[in-house]
Amino acid sequence: MSGMRTAAANPPLDSAAASVSPALGEPLATATRPSSLPCVHCGLPTDCSTDSDPSRVFCCAGCLGAYQLIHGWGLEDFYALREQMKSSGTARAASKDSRYEQFDSLEFLGPSRPTEFSDGTCGAEFAVHGLHCGACAWLIENAAAREAGLLSARVRMSDHTVRVQFDPQRTKLSRVARLFDSLGYGLAPIDAQRDRQIQIASRRLLVQIAIAGFLAANAMWIAVALYAGEYSGVEPQYRYFLGLVGISLGVSAVLGPGRTFLVGALASLRTGTPHMDLPVALGLGVGGLVGTVNAVVGRGHVYFDSLATLVFLLLIGRWIQFRQQQRAARAVDLMLRITPRHATLLSNTGQEQLVLVDTLVAGDRIRVAPGESVPADGEVTRGESSLDRSLLTGESLPVGVAVGDTVAAGTVNLTSPFDLRVTATGRDSRIGQVMQAVEMAASERTPLVQLADRIGGVFVVTVIVLAVATFLIWLPHSLPAATAHATALLIVACPCALALATPLAIAVALGRAAKGSILVRDGQALQQLASVGTLWLDKTGTLTEGRQRVSSWYGSGEGLRLAAALEAQCRHPVAQAIVREAERQQVQLPTQAELECVLPGGGVSGRVEGRRLHAGNASLMQAEGIAVPEEFAHHMQRLADHGESPILLALDGQIVSLLGLSDPIRDGARELVDELQGLGWSVGILSGDHPAIVRRVGEQLGLPLTRCFGALSPEQKLAAIRDSRHAGQTVVMVGDGANDAAALAAADVGIAIRGGAEVSLQAAPIFIASGKLLSIANLLRGAARTTRVIHSNFAISLSYNLLAVGLAMTGLISPLFAAILMPLSSVSVLALTLARKTFPEGQ
């Protein structure tokens, strides 16, 4: 407000009372003296001395006159408002800088806080606002090289997120956010509103298509009238009017629904990374400019129908790509699918309180009840139990835990409650580390992806160069001819068919695959599966049923009747297998059975019809002082050699029966392996189960033992996948559990099958919903056919463009005929794509 007080204090000036700089061309009386005072009206420097009154200094007589006029009309607030706008602009700039600086605050980042890697670099994931299509992703990933220290940026269109890897010694996240903002994309920490934002983006795109379609349809009707008038005649005033209406429709399509291409082109020019939006924007811009000029002067063609139709078709292609990326359901959050939302916290006095898992910290004591998932990594401080670790490690048998043992989040407590001292939660837990490995592996790029972008990049530069060359070649003849031929080239060569070639082929293939219960989240996976390479299979739940059953029995049949009565009171998978076997044999169970003790990792004991019964492994019998006869020991070894788990039954201190538990091989497993090998794939097994069991399964499936690996942790599976990729061949991982998530993401293509799909879908781009193993072979064949269709579409598109560009450069086609040819290329690609059978109906 100081400016207002100064203005009010100074009355209108006489010319003689003001210090005015000499006019242009007049000699300066004070040329040797440096200027130091600005003009009161415009702020430009003057040549007045510093001893002049600063409130009466003007650079010229014009500013003096303007100053007097403003005061004479009582508009003194003009200067105060001007100062306010200056300070407001400074404040906005400071506010914008402050907004960037927030990204250096861990409190602000929340779930997007950086993770440090062993090589000293950091990674972080953010939500991206303003993403429209693959061209946006391509621009962001290529512009990352503009920021020193930003090593990579990988966009995931499925949930509109970007994962950046950067060197904290060379750059900060605030500078990364500033770079993204300069491209027209806003970064924000990941929150729960991502899905809603994607839905809004989808609806916005559909509205744009509807508007473009409305404009294109009306423009075509007007174009038909004008084209007919070329032959039958039309009054000049009507032709002029229809031309103006038509060009207004075309320009509205460009500036409205087509604005997204203009924004992409501007961002491309700012970063120096041309992509497919650039020739589209050039074609739209030149066509709109020339058409507008011709419409106003009333001569020449206006191209408004081709403008609106081009925008409409390109938006349809963009929507197809968007829908393809959203086709399969994504896991909401890998952590929330594995660990519970709540935990039972124990106070110092032992009182229980239900709290959110996110509030747990290292050192807290929690209680885990039977049937619950362990919410955090920790150490058992009280109690004993058995854990189902199949979701994490793939082990088919439960593992006993006692005081002092460590347990991992995501495992399931089977038998008894126990207390746990928390050592790690969230991303710091073991399953959290696996999730981060999933995210990092999912952001890696292989040499076979982004084929359309690579071709499009060359296409963009070529089209622009050829358009300029065409203009220069025809310029000596006439400016209208040069403009017409260059415009015809840009219109006819706009990469509509090229942009539609891949998403159309993939979308049709995905629809047909879905009818056979093969859900594909990422169409690029189909292209990669077309190359034969190495295919790794998980064992538990993939090649086998993932459920224990009694496969062998030796000794007294009475043992089954008594053991089943005792095991019916236990939730252990081994117990359930014995009960199912008794039900299958229709054994009448005793009514007098009392379960006394469940020994984690060992077995059970109790009384049945007044007799003492123990059921468990050899360790249990040894702990109870029960000797194992030599004949039973011999059969136990035979069971182990055949990949079966031996369970002993002792009655009143004497071994009476021996049963073998196995995880049966699924129907179709051998046929699948034979088909895969027949297609040229190198097939192997990666499993967390016992090596002897894995080797046995491999033998039954006809696999070489050198390709069957057991007792692997999730980290070891991930290492095996990465080692396979070093050979340069396509690597495929087929699994069904959270333990496979990192390996599924690290492979070139991950295929989730049957159980654990919700967890694995975040890492695996393909899910076999039916669980049929032979669907994997159908998938590989369909992927090869789809890739051939994509290559055919590219060949057709490029051949069309070569022919069309040649005709345009030689002047054999006019912009009018170019507008007619342009949609024909897209229609031909669509027709040929629909005609090719990628996946058979019903499979």
Strand, coil or helix: what is 814? coil
- DSSP per residue over 599-660, as a string? ETTTEEEEEETTEEEEEE-HHHHHHTT----HHHHHHHHHHHHTT-EEEEEEETTEEEEEEE
Alpha helix segments (H runs only) across 341-495:
390-393, 430-442, 451-474, 479-492
Handedness of CA 457, 460, 466, 471 (dihedral sign): negative
Integer Cα distance of 843 and 833 in angstroms: 19
Residue 748 near residue 528, CB atoms below 8 Å:
yes
Q: Which whole-number Å values give the CA distances from 800 to 217, 384, 469, 494, in the listed order? A: 25, 72, 20, 11
Q: Which whole-number Å values give the CA distances from 823 to 29, 280, 288, in the listed order? A: 71, 14, 18
Q: Could you give phi then psi for residue 49, rounded to 5 degrees?
A: -70, 160
Give the single-character DSSP code of 63: H
Give the single-character DSSP code of 169: T
Integer Cα distance of 15 and 74 in angstroms: 19
Half-sphere exposure (CA, 13 Å, Cβ side) for 424? Answer: 13
Integer Cα distance of 272 and 285 in angstroms: 19
CA angle 819, 821, 823 (to 5 degrees): 80
Q: Pick the closest to residue 184 from 143, 219, 221, 243 (CA basis).
A: 143
Residue 711 near residue 813, CB atoms below 8 Å:
no
Give the single-character DSSP code of 333: -
Look up tokens 């000699």; give the residue: 27
Integer Cα distance of 511 and 361 in angstroms: 46
Radius of gyration of the chain (CA): 37
Q: Which whole-number Å values give the CA distances from 840 to 29, 509, 673, in the listed order? A: 92, 10, 21
Helix 815-835 and helix 304-325, axial crossing angle in degrees, nearest 10? 30
Give the single-character DSSP code of 587: P
- DSSP per residue over 756-793, as a string? THHHHTTT-SEEETT--THHHHHHHHHHHHHHHHHHHH
Integer Cα distance of 485 and 492 in angstroms: 10
Q: Pick the closest to residue 257 from 218, 303, 297, 315 (CA basis).
A: 315
Q: Out of 388, 538, 689, 748, pick the active-site residue.
A: 538
Look up tokens 């004949």; give the residue: 631
Q: Pick the closest to residue 816 from 275, 277, 246, 316 (CA basis).
A: 246
Integer Cα distance of 639 and 647 in angstroms: 10
Q: Position 123: which residue type?
A: G
Phi/psi-derived region of residue 110, left when phi > 0, alpha when psi is between -120 and 50, beta in every other case: left
Calculate the dihedral angle through the C-alpha atoms of 483, 484, 490, 496, rounding to the nearest 10 degrees. 150
Tokens representing residue 487 in the block: 């415009």
Q: Could you give phi then psi for residue 748, rounded to 5 degrees?
A: -60, -40
Specify whether 538 is catalytic. yes
Provide, for the chain, the percentages of residues in helix, strand and coil under a 3-state DSSP scheme, each rounded to the nearest 5: 55, 15, 30
Q: Which residues belong to the active site?
A: 538
